[in-house]
């Protein structure tokens, strides 16, 4: 276990106050990583075009992904990620701040994407665009002026797990598997939105609903309160952890919280339930 992080930290979370103070820094790059499930009825790109934090670039989670996979928004190959970031003017030497329109939802997924590519100077905006707007901070509807920036990538393979590795962890118990989905979905009491997916959970997994990590204002809990959210789900913070969810988005929120608590031995199951739930040969628990 490393050091517990509280307050502003440019490698995990920063406040709206921090971002406002650094808004004109020449090496700051802001990314709007808004993403919505179909049932939310929201258009992330249209909302970005209408209003975003000044200078923000739009990161399309579904497009900047491995389109060869049948699974939703699997992490992009290194070359694709590099080319998309260069086109967005994001590269070496930049401090990146990622936000989304829900408050703290899909931004953590993009934060994890950068971490996976070896970029540590990246933070999530705590409370996201809703908090920024509620405080009356500046927004704009103009696209930023882009200048190409080279990006050097060193993929950190230990930050991601595939289905074979997760199946081994489920069987051997050498990693804790922590599921960010709602308790009803975790117990298999609620049908899955995606077609042909069984209901239930990965055997021997634990449940920490991502929403339990938040304060009432949508910011992430800190210190003892954050620790209590994980411990309430039966998680031993001294043991290594794999996070999972429906399709690898909210699993990244758990990873962000765990890193704030000093847990450095944590990995994300990219395929998550969208993958596990479709294969009949993989066991499922319910109840």
Q: How many CB atoms lie within 10 A of CB 32?
A: 27
Residues 6+ apart with CB under 8 A from 95: 10, 22, 25, 27, 28, 29, 121, 122, 123
C-alpha dihedral over 227, 271, 156, 61, to 10 degrees?
-90
Confidence (pLDDT) at 181: 97
Chain-centroid distance, C-alpha 257? 10
User: Tens digits of per-residue pLDDT, 220-249?
Assistant: 999 999 999 999 999 999 999 999 999 999
CA nearest neighbour of 228 among 212, 210, 243: 212
Decide if 13-155 and 158-276 have a common fold: yes
- In three-state secondary structure terms, 166 is helix
Confidence (pLDDT) at 70: 86
User: Tens digits of per-residue pLDDT, 135-154?
Assistant: 999 999 999 999 989 999 99
User: Tens digits of per-residue pLDDT, 30-54?
Assistant: 999 999 988 899 999 999 999 999 9
| This prediction's pTM | 0.97
The band of 124, judged by pLDDT with boundaries at 50, 70 and 90, is very high
**Element of type H or E holding 207:** strand 205-207
Per-domain residue ranges of the chain: 13-155, 158-276
Residues with catalytic annotation? Answer: 245
- Alpha-carbon distance of 275 to 202, in angstroms, equals 11
| pLDDT (average), residues 51-76 | 94
Chain-centroid distance, C-alpha 267? 12
Q: What is the CATH number of domain 13-155?
A: 3.40.250.10
Give residue for tokens 């429906």. 246
**How far from 172 is each of 169, 177, 205, CA to CA, in Å?**
5, 11, 12
Fold observed for domain 158-276: Oxidized Rhodanese; domain 1 (3.40.250)
Give residue for tokens 């090496």. 27
Q: What is the percent of the chain where pLDDT is above 90?
A: 92
Confidence (pLDDT) at 1: 79
Q: Is 281's pLDDT higher than 90?
A: yes
Average pLDDT of the chain?
96
**Element of type H or E holding 47:** helix 44-50
User: Tens digits of per-residue pLDDT, 188-220?
Assistant: 999 887 888 999 999 999 999 999 999 999 999
Confidence (pLDDT) at 37: 87
User: Tens digits of per-residue pLDDT, 4-25?
Assistant: 999 999 999 999 999 999 999 9
Q: Report helix angle 251-260 to 223-231, nearest 10.
A: 130
Confidence (pLDDT) at 285: 97
- Alpha-carbon distance of 117 to 120, in angstroms, equals 9
């Amino acid at each position: 276990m490393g050091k517990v992080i509280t307050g502003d930290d440019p490698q995990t979370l920063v406040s709206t106050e921090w971002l406002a103070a650094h808004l004109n820094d020449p090496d700051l790059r802001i990314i709007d990583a808004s993403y919505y499930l179909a049932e939310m009825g929201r258009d992330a790109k249209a909302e970005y075009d209408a209003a975003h934090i000044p200078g923000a670039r739009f990161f399309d989670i579904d497009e900047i992904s491995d389109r060869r996979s049948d699974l939703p928004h699997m992490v992009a190959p290194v070359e694709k990620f590099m080319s998309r970031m260069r086109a967005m003017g994001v590269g070496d030497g930049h401090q990146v701040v990622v936000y989304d329109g829900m408050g703290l939802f899909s931004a953590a997924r993009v934060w994890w994407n950068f971490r996976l590519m070896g970029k540590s100077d990246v933070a999530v905006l705590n409370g996201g665009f809703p908090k920024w707007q509620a405080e009356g901070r500046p927004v704009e509807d103009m696209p930023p002026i882009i200048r190409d920036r080279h990006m050097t990538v060193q993929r950190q393979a230990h930050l991601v797990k595939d289905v074979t590795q997760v199946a081994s962890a489920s069987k051997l118990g050498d990693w804790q598997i922590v599921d960010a989905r709602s308790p009803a979905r975790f117990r298999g009491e609620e049908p899955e939105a995606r077609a042909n997916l069984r209901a239930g959970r990965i055997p021997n997994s634990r449940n920490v609903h991502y929403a339990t990590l938040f304060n009432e204002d949508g910011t992430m809990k800190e210190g003892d309160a954050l620790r209590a959210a994980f411990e309430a789900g039966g998680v031993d913070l001294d043991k290594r952890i794999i996070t999972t969810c429906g399709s690898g988005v909210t699993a990244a929120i758990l990873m962000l919280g765990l890193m704030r608590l000093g847990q450095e031995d944590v990995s994300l199951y990219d395929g998550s339930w969208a993958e596990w739930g479709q294969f009949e040969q993989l066991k499922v628990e319910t109840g």
